[in-house]
Homo-oligomer: A and B are copies of this chain.
Amino acid sequence: MAEIPVSPFAPARFPALPAVAGVAAATAAAGVRYKGREDVLLTTLPRGSTVAGTFTRNTMPGAPVDWSRRHVAQGKARALVVNTGNANVFTGKAGAKAVRDTAEAAAKLLGCRPAEVFVASTGVIGEPLPAERILAVLGDLARAQAPADWQRVANAIRTTDTFAKGAGRIARIGQREVAIAGVAKGSGMIQPDMATMLAFVFTDARLPADVLRGLLRPAVDDSFNAITVDSDTSTSDTVLLFATGQVPLPRAIARAGDPLLRDFRAKLLEVCQELAQQIVRDGEGAQKFVEIRVGGAASKAAARRIGLAVANSPLVKTAIAGADANWGRVVMAVGKSGEKADRDRLSIRMGGVTIAERGYPHPDYREEQVRPHMRGREILIEVDVGIGTGSATVWTCDLTHGYISINGDYRS
């Protein structure tokens, strides 16, 4: 397979992420699939750390997803092991054993229970995971634990991502400042299989697991669940939120809706959105970043489904690739979503220009008005479906020859 060109959205440098008290990490080149690249990450957390997670809804999940989903329910975390090169998907009992062996080995080294060790894998499907290569480096990784170098962590979980992805914020909880830092990978292609989205977010705030769960769900809904590159859902998608508890809070917090968490909720959402948008900006073959704002829907969920129908439409995505303000395809995509929408009240704007209003092309609209916008890198499409007050924003990229080349080149 030919080298994948670096995304035009790759940042000049990895962003500055805050240190998160208690999070240590080390990486190694274990040769899981390829020689000479870092492919195993061990992150460790202090006693008392909590965790929440969300996972792929694909009904063919990999063995690591089975493991992590099962154990996230108890809310305690001491370690995270991530490997690239092999997704450990469709690997039967041997795959489940590989995860268990890895978790048990890490637990032994760290003096915790295997259920407190979370595992994520990304890479080829249907080949046995050579767990022994991971086990062979775990001892060194445990000894090498040091405060997380986020760029190195982000790099170790890359596969064919064309840039490392990270985002961080400082949030205030009362008078306390707490750190939030996250890394992600995704939308690069794991030759010869599929893209996987992994994201790990860490904070040093002292938050119980059920509060983390309540914080993570809405943040994920408005970030990772609001992006799409090609509508395909990996069997390995995993988002984990860890809290080390190293920063005590002004008072105990028992629910995610606590007013004291207002700034934390906002900053967590910003971190998740930045990571999610970086994934789209590194979408396979992406040349344009597309924001789709849907309003006037029956509910927020309906608005998101309409947005994703537009974002996943190959005809919309190819039109954007061609700098074509083809709003007829947007009409079609809204209609194919199946969500309630009023054809005779539908409005569409691109780049801030009203193109169609109340079910009819706007009389003043001329294509020249949006042409400069459509030729740019950042495309904005706004749709009002004229039914209610539900709104949502989703992000995607265009569908280009690059996508076909990356995914359709003959596997030699």
Contacts and interface: CB of A to CB of B under 8 A. Distances in A.
Interface of A: 57-61, 89-92, 124-127, 192-195, 230-235, 312-315, 318-319, 321-324, 326-329, 331-341, 343-344, 346, 356, 359-361, 398-401, 403-405, 407-411
Contact of A360 (B92, B315, B340, B405): B92
Given A90-B331, A233-B332, A322-B407, 7 more contacts: A57-B336, A58-B332, A59-B341, A60-B343, A90-B328, A90-B359, A322-B411
Contact of A232 (B314, B361, B403): B314
Report whether over half of chain A's contact residues are helix, strand or loop; otherwise say mixed.
Answer: loop
10 contacts: A60-B343, A92-B360, A124-B328, A230-B314, A231-B231, A231-B313, A322-B408, A400-B404, A403-B404, A404-B404
Contact of A401 (B340, B361, B401): B401
Contacts of A331: 60, 89-90, 125-126, 235
Considering the complex of A and B, which 5 residue pairs feature the smallest CB-CB distances, nearest first? A125-B328, A60-B335, A318-B407, A318-B408, A58-B335
Contacts of A235: 331-332, 335
A326 B356 CA distance: 42
A230 B234 CA distance: 19
A319 to B, nearest CB: 7
A309 to B, nearest CB: 10
A95 to B, nearest CB: 9
Contacts of A328: 89-90, 124-126, 192-194
B322 A360 contact: no
A29 B233 CA distance: 47
A183 B387 CA distance: 38
A181 B272 CA distance: 57
